[in-house]
Amino acid sequence: MIRLATVSPCYNEEQVLEESVRRLTALFEELIQKQKITADSMMVFVNDGSRDRTWPIIEQLHGQNRFVRGICLSRNVGHQNAIMAGMMTAKEWADAVITIDADLQDDLNAIEKMIDAHAEGAEIVYGVKVQRTADPLLKRLSAEAFYKMQASMGVESIMNHADFRLMSRRALDILSQYEERNLYLRGLIPMLGLPSSRVDDVISERTAGQSKYTLSKMLGLALDGVTSFSVKPLYMIVYMGIVFLLISLGIGIYVVHALIAGTAVPGWSSLILSIWLVGGFVLIGIGTVGTYIGKIYNEVKHRPLYNIKEILS
């Protein structure tokens, strides 16, 4: 048996918390009866600067349910940092930690399979999405494109895996040594190199409320996923510059030939088009380099990822 902690980041999740606790409690009691987890296992909810009644509800549930614990962050720090705060706190309480979103769209039946895989020697167990019919079509298509883009950029990640995973205390202790500020756990955790396994994760509909992962947040996560683990975009700018140099040489030869042959046609359309095209690529190049410089700027400041305001243990 292991002492298990589930960690769920919460941002404005007042509509789903009570139902999530009810379902997790039923699961915990079943796993305790099967002697898979100890009776002092826990579910940890991390309040990530919510503006609604999320934290008061967590406090209330903590008083009513022996499994419920809470962590209140001083401000909103984002999904990845909130997960990190929960894991780094819960690793002192448990033998293994499972991260799962508070809406419980991930498959609760996979948790027992994760525990079994851990018992067989896996230090990390990934929940891999095998069915995403509950997700909108655009989200499914963009996710597939994102994972393929990551692979092409050389980023080591698990296809169709989000943040539903089990990590042993040993894995969490190693993860705690990584001090980078630009967190992208889906790329960072596979780099630990520990024995791992995978279980199927069938996504279901949210019981209430709406997803807090807006399009802008997903795009930001995608950008972090590439720029935090790959320098290929910088090389792509160099290659693009070489291509443009070759094109310009070709245009130069054509212009000289047209002048000699007397076939040059005066006009400004092609000139303006070239200026806008090259200018656009120059701005993209500057923006890409600026993104990396900005990440370096954030890293060298060594500011804490989060500040914990209160803990309910």
Coil, helix or strand for 58?
A: helix
In sequence order, the β-bridge partners of residue 71 are: 46, 311
Instruction: List Cβ neighbours of 32 (8 Å cut-off, separation of 6 or more).
Output: 38, 39, 41
Q: Is the dihedral of CA 199, 200, 204, 210 positive or negative?
A: positive
HEC profile for 115-153? Answer: HHHHHCCCCEEEEEEEECCCCCHHHHHHHHHHHHHHHHC
Q: Mean pLDDT in the chain?
A: 83
* pLDDT at residue 187, rounded to an integer: 82
Determine the average pLDDT of the residues in 69-91: 95
Angle CA(279)–CA(283)–CA(285) in degrees, nearest 5? 115
Q: How many residues does the chain have?
A: 313
In this structure, how many other beta carbons lie within 10 angstroms of the beta carbon of residue 48?
26
Query: Using one digit for the tens of pLDDT, what is the confidence trace for 216-256?
Result: 666 666 666 566 666 667 667 767 777 776 776 676 676 66
Backbone angles phi, psi at 248, to 5 degrees: -65, -35
Compute φ and ψ for 205, nearest 5 degrees: -70, 150
User: Homologous superfamily of 4-210+305-312 in CATH?
Assistant: Spore Coat Polysaccharide Biosynthesis Protein SpsA; Chain A (3.90.550.10)
What pLDDT, on a 0 to 100 scale, did the predictor assign at position 207?
A: 60
Task: Identify the CA nearest to 123 among candidates 160, 173, 89.
Answer: 173
Mean predicted confidence (pLDDT) in 273-296: 75
DSSP state of 154: T
User: At residue 121, does pLDDT exceed 60?
Assistant: yes
- Per cent of the chain over pLDDT 70 is 74
